[in-house]
Structure 1
């Protein structure tokens, strides 16, 4: 609050600022680009280093992509592998039969992981079965899986060509 004859001398007030900081000379107007570059480290050698680092990073990205494309690309085939879960039969608290249909290119062998789950979706039985090579594309398989507790569903988890 301003009272008559009272000076407002808080930091930043014009009166206090004028008392502490007399007029400072203006900075030199002619600062060259070379002086600024030197001051902030913008030198030709630093620019070359940054450019070389960017090129190396780009090359690394291209190499990683090429390796991935070769690994996951056209050389990897599924051999026409397809599975369908047909059903299951709970035989007892410790056995379930899983019925599935597997489609596969004729003459190709496959392996499948068959699993049985309980009511909380916990795996209580697991078995890897081999599907032998055949002249037929589709085959129906029935797999008996031993379980630790009573299963409530059975299915093929995954299949692959060894």
Structure 2
């Protein structure tokens, strides 16, 4: 027997298979708990999220842009959206926040006009959220 083995035996530093099984079981339970928590956070964030799809825009003149878009939002929740118009240098020339009441439809289509301070070259939905 080696010196290390004699010292381990003398001072009770031997590793039993049962201890190793308990340690790996604890690691497994913690990993499973973290996986479940991550899954719950992901699902709960997805259930309350709002997604948008820009369907078009038209520049009427140097003072207004009309934006068409669709919103997919949770049923029964009001939604607010920030609409933006930009010029050819990607500078913001118009901005508007619109609020929509709660609806029983999951997806809705809208068309909104944004007042601008200069000629815009594009208009789009910057973001939408549940207030």
TM-score band by shorter chain is 0.5 to 0.7
Q: Give the TM-score normalised by the residue count of structure 1.
A: 0.53
Q: 1:154 and 2:92 equivalent? A: no
Q: Rg larger in 1 or in 2? A: 1
Q: 1:92 and 2:66 equivalent? A: no
Which residue number in structure 2 is paired with residue 103 of structure 1?
A: 72
Which residue number in structure 2 is paired with residue 66 of structure 1?
A: none
Matched residues in 2 for 1:117 and 1:78: separation? 31
Q: 1:131 and 2:100 equivalent? A: yes
Conserved 8 A contact 1:99-1:143: yes
SS at match of 2:118: coil
Conserved 8 A contact 2:68-2:109: yes
Gap runs ≥5 in structure 2: 1-36
Q: CA deviation at 1:79?
A: 1.9
What RMSD in Å do the two structures reach over aligned CA positions?
A: 2.0
Gap runs ≥5 in structure 1: 1-68
Q: Give the TM-score normalised by the residue count of structure 2.
A: 0.64
Which structure exhibits the higher relative contact order, with contacts defined as CA atoms closer than 8 Å and separated by 6 or more residues? 2
Matched residues in 1 for 2:57 and 2:45: separation? 32
Conserved 8 A contact 1:79-1:108: no
Conserved 8 A contact 2:47-2:74: no
